[in-house]
């Protein structure tokens, strides 16, 4: 059945962002299993798989779910190319029958249904993020790409949300991680998902183009040291911002302002001679971007060179009707330097009567992470915007999330993965999941039930049980009940499915969800775990099945 192009056209979905995500981007064992299922005549058995994680990252108690759109786009366009089949031919043993390759040629996701929690939701361990139902061989082929597409996306979104929380909502957060990301795609997805998790902009031009994320950036240290001095600036004219005239020599104007600063009472003694190379670079940058002048001020010495040079150029620009955009600090004691810079700016506002000069925006970068943000907050600082790279995009504090994809039902029979480690036991059955809200509007507990159980009702008492610890249970009277799953893919069955929201809509959901959580679940130090539970019926069933399947030990 070749209904794939139909699927695509009807739903208007393109493939995944990265064209390298193909049906071959998976583990070999998905194909050896597919062959074994096919050979056993079992490939059409109807399976239900849950995608979930077992532990929140970053020693926190929450996770933001991301990556769903990429999974759905992958499923929507899943189809083997002839050259892919040819490659599979070369890697499977020659004993494999030709019919299997014909079978692969024909498959797509038209017999699948995919239910998921909306992307951008705050989610918790054990609760399946995605439930995939369909012929077992096809569903297994999706395992590796789905887990790959969700793991890093959710991890880095969560990391961004955590950085936002520590930085506070009033700060501008810029993602600067492309050069340190784990590969080009790590960079592109990092930019997308950091924006989703609450960042304001990125330095990654291609991510700006692909996803409409605001872009930010000025210049590097190399730009500064590529200049020898103002003598090399030949074209020195700069029109006034209102077009009423032209300053014929912006270099002279700037040098004039530098002398004024050197002679000023309030700034006297903070600096003497500044770097000529840096001054030339700043002037050149201002001549190129008079409306967007922002300067990196730490190439030589922030207080003795960068800051006075920046202020001289800014004051010259101001005289011509332009407003400078601020400084970036990329080394040293950011709390101290930002405070000193603020004082310097305020001194100038006062002495030279330049309105708002004291509010000059200060951006800080250089190995910033959750802890340095927290330390800066405790010390006090005057930074308005943070550029964050390495720690953010590589998720330095914990570079992997452990999403797994487990079989929970086959042909209507519940299945569970046993393990001596209780945290690794999976919860069987095709399930429904609900979020129960308390009186004060906060989410109280998530609960999983069997597919056919009555849903929890608002203002009706329900018993919520820990899935594996019999003593942990509580009655809850939810003020609001939210069913977590929506149908995001229903093959060609015609069943109503959710349309995929835009990145900005997902971002808004994420920010709303984060804001709605009870603060003690969200704090950095010793956060309270959010409760995840099962219904009484599901609890009994899990433990019946467990006893049934686990071998009885013999002590010897």
Residues of span 389-418 touching a copy of itself by CB under 8 A? 390, 394-396, 399-403, 405-407, 410, 413, 415-418
H-state helical runs in 441-502: none
Using the rule CB under 8 A, which residue among 6, 10, 226, 493 binds a copy of itself? 226
CB 189 within 8 A of CB 153: yes
Q: Is 550 left (phi over 0), alpha (psi -120 to 50) or beta?
A: beta
Residues of span 475-504 touching a copy of itself by CB under 8 A? none
Using the rule CB under 8 A, which residue among 8, 27, 384, 482 binds a copy of itself? 27
Task: Rule CB under 8 A: say whether 48 interacts with a copy of itself.
Answer: no
* Interatomic CA distance for residues 318 and 140, integer angstroms: 63
Using the rule CB under 8 A, which residue among 101, 103, 223, 352 binds a copy of itself? 223
Task: Rule CB under 8 A: say whether 114 interacts with a copy of itself.
Answer: no
Residues of span 331-390 touching a copy of itself by CB under 8 A? 331-332, 390
Using the rule CB under 8 A, which residue among 127, 247, 287, 448 binds a copy of itself? 287
What letter would DSSP give residue 504? H
Kindly tell me which of 110 and 426 has the beta carbon lying closer to a copy of itself: 426
Kindly tell me which of 152 and 434 has the beta carbon lying closer to a copy of itself: 152
Among 514, 375, 433, which Cα is nearest to 65's?
A: 514
Residues of span 182-201 touching a copy of itself by CB under 8 A? 182-189
What letter would DSSP give residue 423? G
| Bridging pattern class, strands 172-175 and 238-239 | unpaired
Residues of span 230-249 touching a copy of itself by CB under 8 A? 232-235
Residue 380: CB minimum distance to a copy of itself, A: 22
Task: Rule CB under 8 A: say whether 39 interacts with a copy of itself.
Answer: yes
SS3 389: coil
Residue 36: CB minimum distance to a copy of itself, A: 4
Q: Which stretch binds a copy of itself (CB under 8 A): 103-111, 158-166, 268-276, 533-541?
A: 268-276
Using the rule CB under 8 A, which residue among 3, 15, 32, 517 binds a copy of itself? 32
For 457, other C-beta atoms within 10 Å of its C-beta total: 11
Task: Rule CB under 8 A: say whether 206 interacts with a copy of itself.
Answer: yes
Tracing tokens 């104007």 back to the chain, one arrives at: 253
Task: Rule CB under 8 A: say whether 144 interacts with a copy of itself.
Answer: yes
Tracing tokens 């929450």 back to the chain, one arrives at: 62
Continuous segment of H or E residues that includes residue 169? none
Residues of span 60-89 touching a copy of itself by CB under 8 A? 84, 87-88
**Based on the number of CB atoms within 10 Å of its own CB, is 393 exposed (0-12), middle (13-18) or buried (19 or more)?**
buried
* Site residue total, a copy of itself (CB under 8 A): 126
For residue 140, what are its two tokens? 């297994």
* Interatomic CA distance for residues 371 and 367, integer angstroms: 10
Residues of span 150-179 touching a copy of itself by CB under 8 A? 151-153, 156, 176, 178-179
Task: Rule CB under 8 A: say whether 312 interacts with a copy of itself.
Answer: no
Tracing tokens 């001020």 back to the chain, one arrives at: 297
SS3 451: coil
Using the rule CB under 8 A, which residue among 256, 304, 473, 537 binds a copy of itself? 304
What letter would DSSP give residue 26? S
């Amino acid at each position: 059945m070749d209904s794939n192009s139909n699927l695509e056209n009807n739903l208007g979905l393109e493939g995944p962002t990265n064209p390298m995500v193909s049906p071959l981007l998976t583990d070999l064992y998905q194909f050896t299993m597919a062959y074994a299922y096919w050979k056993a005549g079992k490939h059409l058995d109807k399976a239900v798989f849950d995608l979930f994680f077992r532990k929140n990252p970053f020693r926190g108690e929450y996770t933001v779910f991301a990556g769903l759109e990429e999974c759905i786009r992958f499923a929507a366009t899943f189809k083997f190319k002839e050259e892919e089949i040819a490659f599979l031919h070369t890697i499977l043993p020659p004993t494999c029958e030709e019919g299997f390759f014909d079978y692969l040629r024909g498959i797509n996701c038209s017999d699948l249904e995919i239910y998921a929690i909306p992307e951008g939701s705050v989610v918790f361990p054990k609760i399946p993020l995605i439930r995939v139902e369909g012929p077992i061989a096809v569903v297994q082929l999706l395992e590796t790409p789905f887990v790959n597409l969700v793991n890093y996306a959710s991890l880095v979104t969560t990391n961004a949300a955590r950085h936002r929380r520590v930085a506070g909502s009033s700060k501008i957060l810029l993602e600067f991680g492309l050069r340190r990301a784990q590969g080009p795609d790590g960079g592109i997805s990092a930019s997308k998902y950091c924006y989703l998790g609450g960042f304001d902009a990125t330095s990654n031009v291609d991510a700006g183009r692909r996803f409409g994320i605001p872009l930010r950036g000025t210049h590097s240290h190399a730009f500064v040291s590529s200049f020898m001095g103002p003598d090399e600036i030949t074209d020195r004219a700069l029109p006034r911002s209102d077009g009423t005239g032209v300053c014929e020599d912006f270099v002279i104007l700037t040098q004039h302002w530098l002398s004024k600063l050197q002679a000023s009472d309030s700034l006297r003694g903070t600096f003497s001679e500044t770097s000529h190379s840096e001054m030339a670079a700043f002037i050149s940058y201002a001549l190129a971007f008079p409306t967007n002048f922002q300067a990196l001020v730490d190439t030589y010495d922030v207080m003795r060179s960068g800051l006075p040079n920046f202020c001289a150029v800014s004051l010259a620009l101001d005289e011509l009707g332009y407003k400078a955009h601020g400084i970036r600090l990329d080394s040293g004691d950011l709390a101290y330097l930002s405070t000193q810079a603020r004082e310097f700016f305020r001194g100038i506002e006062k002495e030279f009567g330049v309105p708002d000069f004291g509010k000059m925006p200060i951006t800080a970068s250089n190995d910033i992470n959750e802890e340095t943000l927290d330390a800066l907050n405790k010390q006090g600082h005057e930074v308005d915007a943070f550029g964050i790279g390495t720690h953010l995009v590589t998720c330095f504090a914990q570079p992997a999330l452990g999403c797994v994809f487990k079989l929970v039902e086959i042909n209507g029979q519940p299945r569970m993965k046993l393990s001596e480690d209780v945290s690794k036991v999976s919860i069987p059955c095709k399930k429904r999941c609900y979020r129960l809200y308390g009186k004060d509007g906060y989410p109280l507990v998530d609960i999983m039930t069997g597919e056919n159980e009555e849903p929890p009702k608002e203002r009706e008492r329900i018993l919520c049980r820990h899935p594996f610890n019999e003593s942990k249970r509580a009655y809850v009277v939810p003020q609001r009940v939210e069913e977590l799953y929506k149908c995001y893919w229903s093959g060609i069955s015609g069943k109503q499915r959710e349309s995929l929201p835009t990145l900005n809509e997902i971002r808004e959901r994420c920010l709303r969800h984060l804001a709605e959580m009870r603060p003690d679940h969200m704090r950095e130090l010793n956060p309270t775990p959010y409760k995840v539970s099962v219904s009484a019926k599901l609890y009994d069933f899990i433990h019946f099945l467990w006893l049934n399947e686990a071998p009885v030990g013999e002590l010897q």
